[in-house]
Amino acid sequence: MKALLIRHPQTEWNRAGIIQGRLDSPLTSRGWEECNALISGLQAEGITPDAVISSPAGRAQQIAARIAGHFACDCQLHDALQEQHFGGLEGRSLSEIQRVYPPFIDDEHFCPPQGESLTQAAQRLLTFLHRLPDVCSQETVALVSHGHVIQAAIAQLMENSLSNVARYHHPNASFSLLAIDEKSCRVIRWGIASHLLNLPA
């Protein structure tokens, strides 16, 4: 099976540099343009999802519904695709958090108050990916998720480590292509964002 691990489009809080986590904010006008560009990009790549599974966050569900509608397939929700839980840090600016909690960026084991560490978030998503063939029979599945947890999962799959997690940053509305079977989950391509190049800055 192939899985597309898709980051949701730009939101108001993405643009403002505010940590969302389990909170939510509306898509920007650019975010809606990114939705359309992503669908066009999948078509250009010859990728046709047979099913869509989304994080329950509104910003993820909106693009998931667009993808499911365009490709005429079912859309389900799964908690394993949620963003890292930043607990008491959610709703605060990234610049403020970096001042108050310096380990936030560099320490994958740092657990925000009432939240989860990046290591825990990555393991949650990876467990779901490895079990995907048991819960989904479709050949190509679009999984709509979030930036931090996606880049952590990709880093773990590529390097078996989160030491270089920043290397695997995924822009809004970018995606990675995975090959998954009962025995393995491997990255074919990651951080695909060429479909966004023609959008205005």
CA–CA distance, 60 with 54 (Å, rounded to integer): 6
CA distances from 190 to 23, 81, 157, 169, 174 (A): 26, 17, 11, 9, 9
Ligand-binding annotation for 61, yes or no, is no
Q: Which of the following is catalytic: 8, 148, 170, 195?
A: 8
Active-site hit among 33, 83, 90, 108: 83
**Catalytic residue list contains 182:** no
Residue 1 in contact with residue 183, Cβ under 8 Å?
no
The CA distance from 145 to 161, in Å, is 20
**Burial of 47 from C-beta contacts in 10 A (0-12 / 13-18 / 19+):** middle
Q: Find out whether 49 is annotated in a ligand binding site.
A: no
Token output for 59: 């910003």
Residue 7 labelled as part of a binding site: yes
β-strand partners of 11: 27
- Of 86, 38, 87, nearest to 62 by C-alpha is 38
Half-sphere exposure of 111 (CA within 13 A, CB side): 7
User: 13 a known binding residue?
Assistant: yes
Q: Is 9 annotated as a binding residue?
A: yes
Is residue 120 marked as binding?
A: no
HSE-CB at 24 with a 13 A cutoff on CA atoms is 13
Q: Would you say 200 is a known binding-site residue? A: no
Catalytic residue flag (residue 148): no
**Binding positions for substrate:** 7-14, 59
Active site residues: 8, 83
**Binding positions:** 7-14, 59
